[in-house]
Amino acid sequence: MSFPTVGVDAIFSGWEQTAIDIGDDGLFLEIAAKVQVQRHLEEECDRQEAFWQRRMSDLGELLQQTALPAPRINRVSPRNIFTGPRPSLLQAPIEFWPSITVRCGDLRPDRSDQKDQFDTFDCDFYVEVMCYGGPIDREHLHLQEGIDTEGNVNMQVHLLSGAVQMCIRRDPSLGGAILPIKYPPAIRPTFPTAVPGVDQERTGDYYLYQGRQHHYIITRNSY
């Protein structure tokens, strides 16, 4: 499997990358990122699995173990790729997991380049990846089963996070929607959290949930 070529994928080739927007076009940025992630996520998950299968084989030899489990990423349903803040996901039924959320945050005046005719902003842009592991009986949460599940959900969130990062990296212009993103993201992981049940009743076995947040800076012009 070859490494993807970084360049413009021209999803939004009809848009002018340097166009001056009318106010805040954060919604358009969210939609452009959602389109790009959704188009490439399956291929990038396959790439992560193939890469880590080879790596696990090498690590097994180094650790003198017969075999380490080949990683398998739990796939994200297209309906679970969201735009905008979705705090309800933290209490949502398990059918909404794993999930990916793309959202615009704060906008700040760009200190390096301001013109007389328009304003230039730096936009905090977030891509959040959320995974789960389980089920686990409550009595086993702090025993080997729970500890192993923490390791599994950690692997899930790392690999899915890597796949999502490569979806953005394939075309930092988000399909021609923006000037290319200049810098890689700052990445902030969460700790796993144990929650019972698979629905809003929250009864039964426990599941472990964990996420990673990718923080990009996107520069945009606006009247």
Residues 6+ apart with CB under 8 A from 32: 11, 12, 174, 175, 177, 178
**What's the one-letter identity of residue 52?**
W
15: in domain: no
Give the highest mean pLDDT range of 49-53, 162-166, 193-197. Answer: 162-166
In the predicted structure, residue 124 carries a pLDDT above the cut 60? yes
81: in domain: yes
The SS3 call for residue 129 is strand
Comparing 65-69, 141-145, 168-172, the range with the smallest average pLDDT is: 65-69
Comparing 18-27, 40-49, 53-62, 187-196, the range with the smallest average pLDDT is: 18-27
What's the pLDDT band for 215 if we cut at 50, 70, 90?
very high
14: in domain: no
Domain with 166 in it: 20-222
3: in domain: no
In the predicted structure, residue 223 carries a pLDDT above the cut 60? no
- Beta-strand runs (E) in the chain: 20-21, 81-83, 99-109, 119-136, 186-189, 193-196, 206-222
177: in domain: yes
Number of separate domains in the chain: 1
Q: What are the distances in angstroms from CA 34 to CA 27, 84, 99, 163?
A: 11, 10, 12, 14
pLDDT of residue 58: 77
**Which of residues 2 and 205 earns the better pLDDT score?**
205
Residues 6+ apart with CB under 8 A from 87: none
Name the phi and psi angles at 186, rounded to 5: -80, 135
204: in domain: yes
Residue-wise pLDDT for 165-194, tens only, equals 999 999 998 888 887 898 999 999 999 999
165: in domain: yes
Entry pTM: 0.85
State the Cα–Cα distance between residues 67 and 71, nearest whole angstrom.
12
7: in domain: no
pLDDT of residue 22: 54
pLDDT of residue 5: 52
Residue-wise pLDDT for 70-89, tens only, equals 789 999 999 999 999 998 88
What's the pLDDT band for 92 if we cut at 50, 70, 90?
confident
